[in-house]
Structure 1
Amino acid sequence: MKACLHRAAAVLLVMPLAVPVQAHTEIAAGGGFVRGFLHPLGGGDHLLAMVAVGIWGAVLGAPLLWLLPVTFPLLMVLGALAAIGGVALPAVEPGVAASVLVLGAAIAAFWRARPAAALVVVGFFGFLHGYAHGAELPEAASPPAYACGFVLASGLLHGTGIAIGTVRSLPRGEAVLRGLGGAIAAAGLWMLLGRPGMA
């Protein structure tokens, strides 16, 4: 668990280095990888939802500890492909905001969802997030590079959530996670009611 915390800290320290290499990456991949990588980090709704997936996985424990962070990016890719393919999907932005509310509430309640239910919830929201990413794909970007970028960033955010979830083993750790889940849910509600187009 200590190793996870160290890795998460290292990732957060290295993230700013992605910006200076952006020009080189854009030449190599049509702007796809860097833009895809930065997209989840630039929107509060995407960032909070992906961290929340990791935290909820930590709350639920194995095997969902790893299944949730794998399911979300897989369904994101399918959602992105649907958007790139021109499939019409209504209410994507409110759905993305709702994901922050629902996942935060699941953490706050320490919802011990059955594996199938947890996978359906996370998969559904992963599809919506992926659709939002795909719909915002820059015209000059390489779709595969863009997808690789946002999947990698999502994995790092899930890992950060898992690392945060390790506080559960500390004294009052459950209370800390419940409070954090409540704060995430409140942010999701604010996004849903006050900022419907945040993604």
Structure 2
Amino acid sequence: MGITVRPAQMSDIPEVARVLGIAFTDDPLFEWLIRDDAGRARRIAVLFAAQARHHFMPLGGVEVACNDANSIVGVALWAPPGHWHVADADTLRQLPALVRSFRHRLPVVARMADTMMAAHPREPHWYLAAIGTLPGVRGQGYGRELLNSRLDRCDAEGLPAYLESSKPSNVPYYERFGFEVTTTLDATEGGPPLWPMWRNPR
């Protein structure tokens, strides 16, 4: 079985969003934010499509993992050093998608984003905003190849990497790649916690 990791193209955005929408359907944070079980994957996909188009793609931060049939089965969204914060103009471009995704929960999302932003490290680093694979390929190495693709670059550039895990079962997985939990973050005011994780370059 061959795994291909490549930079995403603008034409990939619908499939990038679809894959991430499915991948994050059982994520505790999204389950808490979007109570609509039947529509959750679609609403998450709307969010990730906007984020990819208006923030991560222009920064060269979207990578996809493809199977032998050249179908996208995994996606990673990275922001390079100095660009983890979404500019106000880009936030405005994403606003219609944010409303469609979160509806009446949008004020909760805004407060959560403010808390995450305040806790975000200021030292230059690569920021892994999201990574996900389709359930049917989990355990087959697609996530590993996606992570290693950008972490190898981090090591070559001598730069750290940072992420916030919203699923406790993923923490040991990231630890295998050199990430370490720095704290437990309550960004949801009593909802599911986040585990910020930092990785020094090797």
Q: TM-score, normalised by structure 1?
A: 0.27
Structure number with higher helix proportion: 1
- Of structures 1 and 2, the one with the larger relative CO (CA 8 A, separation 6+) is 1
